[in-house]
Structure 1
């Protein structure tokens, strides 16, 4: 094993980045903008083959809407290197020596190991897919979907699988989007979900609408079902997914159970982790108690501005913002990341799904008392061609009327309306204040009373009555 001095060559400071996707490479790029190669050496380690790719886009690549893998890559390794970043692909960091300010890395292909000292460290190790410890889970034909390599492996399996029966385990964002992708590829799809309804990020009454839409697409939904094992055939490949009460034939299985923060390195190094297993940082994204270590992306917990509690929200939007903040601070500037309100959107074919803020159970968990309203409206003026139904559910705090959360399920034009609510939540607006918002109106874009404002008006009446 080799070991160099405490700083980069020529006495420069060295910034080491662990993880080459959104948060890590955003941080490296931003630090490079602030400090040139003559001042700051930047070394980035990535255990995979790709950098700066959109994991969120993988279901659309698998489904065929995105025609090729390279469309999902925002910046190639060559582009990063051309900007003076020493990017080392297929190199996995196996240990962080915090007292010694160094990391141990292993070449994935050769197995060679070496230590690299750092002055400043960025941990952007991302998330790992939940892979349940079940019989048959590692059989050929069973796929997780987290990286571009995972997506390619799934596409390869789709191309050579003769049968057309697919089972998706899990009905969160990944599971629902992969179910659509497989329908688009001509598979018969069954989704096995342990929850009462799909999309547990919604309240069950809103999830039920997603359930109906999925059934309308020909997807078989199996709710309240726990997978007990994956059955294999004589050739060793997966042939069925079993629950306590039934078996579902499968030529292909996709695991869409969600992800957990990839923090084994951080845990072994004694860095502080939260209740969800993610790294804890301050407002500058600095790891708590460590002046020269930052962390961001899917491996950290973030402050929910509505509940006031730490939350695990693995989304690319946050990862890129974290990277900007970290790169600014690691590069000698100043920036903060105040927190999130929990905004997310998705779709199942033409059904759009959106949510922000707290669900009913979230509000109860933190001790808030609230009222809920649900309204039916349309995406455009009712008389205008293409007007489509939309359901908006709104939570508001009892007595104060403070907006607590919004969920929207509808057709074209529904999902991005959640951004109005996201801004209102960030500004801590009441539903009464929201009713006066000066939103854009014309018949092709909304009714004269936008669905968000209709819900806010109804919520005002209800919290006053309460």
Structure 2
């Protein structure tokens, strides 16, 4: 008997990447098909699987006391479910023609090929490391994985100085600045944009700027770090911009991420304008019947603009994984696209957005009306009512909702979900004004702030 053909009785699924998308896909595929029908091999180059990268700043800042609280499912739990999970093993090549991947054991250096019948690529995103002198010095950290978070916490524990510089003021930069403030550091944020949070329009980002300065964070906007200076011991001692130098005992890079698609590119798989893999509605890589991709390494359809975007969020990654696992396992599911919803916070300031910013709308050729309103989180007379700013964009003439941004205190952030549902449904701002939202003085004014903005936007559209 030819033993080399015994494996052909069942198919083999190979998963590259062991976090949200990859292990969600593997777990869902296992629910669909048992070990006698489908063999699953998953490769992960780190030490952990199925964890919340979004929770790392809260772990660093002490809100989450233990690292393991961020882990949804351990490697052993995956193995107990019949998934051959190989940690500290990095896939270094994909051979599409021969349907196999080459993996390297990062501890021994050994390499070997593994064949597949079906392949899932879930390689995530990689932090952008500016190409400048000193960026690889000791004390300079990117924060993308649990390993990165642990390395930063270890550095903070042994660093005597209390000066930190955060490079970049997006979600990670802002959240890490707050985490370092909580740890007692003197924090400077160097941001090349006009205001922090480039996912907001600058007028809304200015509200975040004021809140950060209120926490004692020094904001340096409209400038870029050009060099990291080190001391005689090789550790970071300062960062340099075009016209200033900022002392630093630790530096955190928060300038964003790019899709990790170097493997896919080398294998000749299709990439979009943002560098992410292109898939169909079932998350199958375009032009490849037996390859799927999901998570931060793919581009997704923006339902508002109609264009492909790269939006690295755990919510999308988990959904992608579920859809991939369903389709790999013989079922049927699709991912229609996103509207670009995200929330964050700086201490008690909540920041939310969905849909298009002004520059997004202009870029795709949409004409719009923009309104901004001030309201409160509760009835004005009810204790604890706090101010809230809502900005809304509506398409000229049609009144179609295009985007919403919200900045405020408790109760502000999750209000963006009202707008996210309205965007997904293609509602006009006029129709939004009739939404039957819940009301009681402890939760909202009679007219919810989102509906106040919708009323103002509808009036502006009618007058245009």
> TM over 0.5: same fold?
yes
Aligned equivalents of 1:7 and 1:286: distance in 2?
27
Is 1:211 paired with 2:209? yes
In structure 2, the residue matched to 1:150 is 148
Q: Determine if contact 1:305/1:426 at 8 Å carries over to the other structure.
A: yes
TM-superposed deviation, 1:9: 2.8
In structure 1, the residue matched to 2:67 is 69
In structure 2, the residue matched to 1:111 is 109
Aligned equivalents of 2:362 and 2:136: distance in 1?
39
* Superposition map of 1:67-216 within 5 A: 67-216=65-214
Is 1:359 paired with 2:349? no
TM-superposed deviation, 1:10: 5.9
Aligned equivalents of 2:6 and 2:348: distance in 1?
52
Unaligned stretches of 5+ residues in structure 2:
none
In structure 2, the residue matched to 1:263 is 261
Aligned equivalents of 2:277 and 2:263: distance in 1?
11
* Superposition map of 1:449-460 within 5 A: 449-460=447-458
Structure 1 ranges of 4+ moved more than 6 A: 4-8
Provide the TM-score with structure 2 as the length reference: 0.99
Aligned equivalents of 1:458 and 1:70: distance in 2?
47
Aligned equivalents of 1:82 and 1:153: distance in 2?
29
Q: Judging changes above 3 Å, is the alpha-carbon distance between structure 1 residues 22 and 7 closer, same or farther for their aligned structure 2 residues?
A: farther
Tell me which of 267, 277, 280 is aligned to 2:278.
Answer: 280
Give SS of 1:409's match: strand
In structure 1, the residue matched to 2:305 is 307
Tell me which of 420, 426, 429 is aligned to 2:427.
Answer: 429
Q: Determine if contact 1:6/1:118 at 8 Å carries over to the other structure.
A: no
Aligned equivalents of 2:463 and 2:4: distance in 1?
66
TM-superposed deviation, 1:11: 1.7
Q: Judging changes above 3 Å, is the alpha-carbon distance between structure 1 residues 36 and 463 closer, same or farther for their aligned structure 2 residues?
A: same
* Superposition map of 1:224-303 within 5 A: 224-303=222-301
Aligned equivalents of 2:77 and 2:263: distance in 1?
28
Deviations 1:65-97 (A, max 9, x none): 000000000000000000000000000001100
Aligned equivalents of 1:97 and 1:7: distance in 2?
20
Aligned equivalents of 2:225 and 2:141: distance in 1?
15
Tell me which of 425, 448, 451 is aligned to 2:446.
Answer: 448
Q: Count residues in correspondence.
A: 463
Q: Determine if contact 1:47/1:89 at 8 Å carries over to the other structure.
A: yes
TM-superposed deviation, 1:7: 7.4
Give SS of 2:378's match: coil
In structure 1, the residue matched to 2:389 is 391
Give SS of 1:134's match: coil
Tell me which of 30, 33, 47 is aligned to 1:32.
Answer: 30
Provide the TM-score with structure 1 as the length reference: 0.98
Q: Determine if contact 1:7/1:14 at 8 Å carries over to the other structure.
A: no
Deviations 1:120-163 (A, max 9, x none): 00000000000011100000010000111110110011111111
Q: Judging changes above 3 Å, is the alpha-carbon distance between structure 1 residues 99 and 17 closer, same or farther for their aligned structure 2 residues?
A: same
Aligned equivalents of 2:154 and 2:32: distance in 1?
42
Aligned equivalents of 1:29 and 1:154: distance in 2?
31
Give SS of 1:198's match: coil
Give SS of 2:296's match: helix
Aligned equivalents of 1:321 and 1:8: distance in 2?
34
Aligned equivalents of 2:368 and 2:246: distance in 1?
41
Q: Determine if contact 1:5/1:117 at 8 Å carries over to the other structure.
A: no
TM-superposed deviation, 1:20: 0.1
Q: Determine if contact 1:104/1:113 at 8 Å carries over to the other structure.
A: yes
In structure 2, the residue matched to 1:331 is 329
RMSD: 1.0
Q: Judging changes above 3 Å, is the alpha-carbon distance between structure 1 residues 5 and 388 closer, same or farther for their aligned structure 2 residues?
A: farther
Give SS of 1:59's match: helix
Q: Judging changes above 3 Å, is the alpha-carbon distance between structure 1 residues 375 and 10 closer, same or farther for their aligned structure 2 residues?
A: same
TM-superposed deviation, 1:8: 7.5
Q: Determine if contact 1:168/1:192 at 8 Å carries over to the other structure.
A: yes
